[in-house]
Amino acid sequence: MDKFFHALRKFARQRSVKDMEANFPFPAVKTKLVFLPSRENVFSRITKSEKYSLLVDKNLLPHLPVKMRKRAFPLPGGEACKNWKTLGAVLAWLATKNTERSEALFVIGGGAACDLGALAAALYRRGMPLTLVPTTLLAQLDASVGGKCAVDFIENKKRIKNFAGAFYPANQVLISPSFLESLPARERRSGLGELLKMLYLEGVEPDIASMQLFLANGKMNASMQRQVQRAIAAKIGFVRRDPLDTKRIREALNFGHTVGHALESMAGGEISHGEAVAFGLFFEVAFAESKRELLIAQRVYGDLMRLQFRLPEKHGSMKGKDWERHFLGDKKMNKSKLAMSIALAKGKIIRLEVAPNQLAQFMARAFPALVQLGKVHPPA
């Protein structure tokens, strides 16, 4: 009997399962970006499909034709929609009206609505066709392109941004500058912060005059539209080379964000994300250049002043320890180092890893100096 079991074990060992490899073709999505002059062009594209579902940031509802408004699921405005509760409500709504998996989901709104809507599209019956209609500058040049989507997680009143998410690129993005005319000035400036980031990353001289016009009335002239297209093309370039954000290539898009996130958390809503990022661009370049002449940082500062970006001055007396606390809240923290990608010269992006206290000490000196400079040379 023993012999029998011995032989059986030997046989089982010989037949041990081999490792396998499966080459799956997904995720392979072609995103079509369509630029349309007016909202009406966008709406008629949507209503062309007989069967469709529509999510709309509630602040955009008044701009919709009545027929579409009636059909839409209204999302809480902005970041308030990026949570489990709204995600669950959207999925339940899709299920209750027996939405088929092949039916298209359209999402109209800023980056928050796009993030929430794309995640809902990814989850509903394991994925439905998705069209995004980004209605903020930030969403047009950043959030609607690249496949990332997520909701936040809130615990003890603390928001963990993009805690649960997926990669689910849209099949189509419909972009129209006409949506931006109703955008509040603060949101326009916020988008400009990310636009500047992309242009600096590309080594392109920003056309500040056309940005100033956009700030004044929300209208985009031809030059402004070209800059936005350039930024979108740049983002596509980074995403193509690192679609799942695993090769450290997409990290370049975090330029300005290490300091930006700390500024944003420190200012507690006093400045927008894009405004914080804009100053983050300046401080990060200045930090990288601190041992050389501050030529690029000076230029960045000049651009920010012409666009009337304002520092949250009342936090000017923050000590190194305070800055360090805000830096350690940064999700890009890698153990004891902060990773920063910084665009220094035409297309030259450097990656720095710095100890949080080193950057914190720099900020404790540089921030009050900049506040002071703003007082000496008030922006034109």
Ligand X SMILES: NC(=O)c1ccc[n+]([C@@H]2O[C@H](COP(=O)([O-])OP(=O)(O)OC[C@H]3O[C@@H](n4cnc5c(N)ncnc54)[C@H](O)[C@@H]3O)[C@@H](O)[C@H]2O)c1
Q: Can you give the binding site for ligand X, defined by CB under 6 A?
A: 57, 59-60, 77-79, 82, 109-113, 115, 135-136, 138-139, 142-143, 146, 148-149, 161-162, 179, 182-183, 187, 190
User: DSSP string covering 169-200, please?
Assistant: --SEEEE-GGGGGGS-HHHHHHHHHHHHHHHH
Shortest separation between residue 57's beta carbon and ligand X, angstroms: 5
In the complex with ligand X, the residue whose CB is nearer, 74 or 320, is 74
Calpha distance 243→355 (Å, rounded): 28
CA 204 to chain centre: 20
In the complex with ligand X, the residue whose CB is nearer, 146 or 312, is 146
Shortest separation between residue 30's beta carbon and ligand X, angstroms: 18
Calpha distance 289→259 (Å, rounded): 15
Shortest separation between residue 365's beta carbon and ligand X, angstroms: 30
150 Cβ contact partners less than 8 Å away, ≥ 6 residues apart:
82, 115, 119, 161, 162, 163, 164, 165, 166
Shortest separation between residue 242's beta carbon and ligand X, angstroms: 13
Q: E-strand spans in 223-292?
A: none
In the complex with ligand X, the residue whose CB is nearer, 142 or 330, is 142
Shortest separation between residue 165's beta carbon and ligand X, angstroms: 8
Reduce the DSSP state of residue 220 to 3 states and report it.
coil
User: Could you tell me how many helices (H) and strands (E) the chain has, helices first?
Assistant: 14, 11
In the complex with ligand X, the residue whose CB is nearer, 162 or 361, is 162
In the complex with ligand X, the residue whose CB is nearer, 103 or 275, is 275
Query: The tokens of 45 are what?
Result: 């594209």
In the complex with ligand X, the residue whose CB is nearer, 249 or 364, is 249
In the complex with ligand X, the residue whose CB is nearer, 63 or 226, is 63
In the complex with ligand X, the residue whose CB is nearer, 57 or 284, is 57
8 A C-beta contact, residue 169 and residue 29:
yes
8 A C-beta contact, residue 299 and residue 344:
no
Shortest separation between residue 8's beta carbon and ligand X, angstroms: 55
Placement of tokens 């012409």 in the chain = 306
Shortest separation between residue 269's beta carbon and ligand X, angstroms: 12
Shortest separation between residue 228's beta carbon and ligand X, angstroms: 14
Calpha distance 101→123 (Å, rounded): 10
Calpha distance 148→130 (Å, rounded): 13
Complete edge-to-edge strand list for the sheet that includes strand 130-134: 32-35, 172-175, 130-134, 104-109, 52-57, 73-75
In the complex with ligand X, the residue whose CB is nearer, 182 or 357, is 182
Shortest separation between residue 127's beta carbon and ligand X, angstroms: 17
Count Cβ neighbours within 10 Å for each residue of 287-323 and write b for 16 or more, e otherwise: bbbeeeeeebbeebbebbbebebebbeebeebebebb
8 A C-beta contact, residue 341 and residue 353:
no
- Of 85, 94, 129, 136, give the one whose Cα is nearest residue 114: 136
Shortest separation between residue 111's beta carbon and ligand X, angstroms: 2
In the complex with ligand X, the residue whose CB is nearer, 99 or 254, is 254
Query: The tokens of 200 are what?
Result: 């600096």
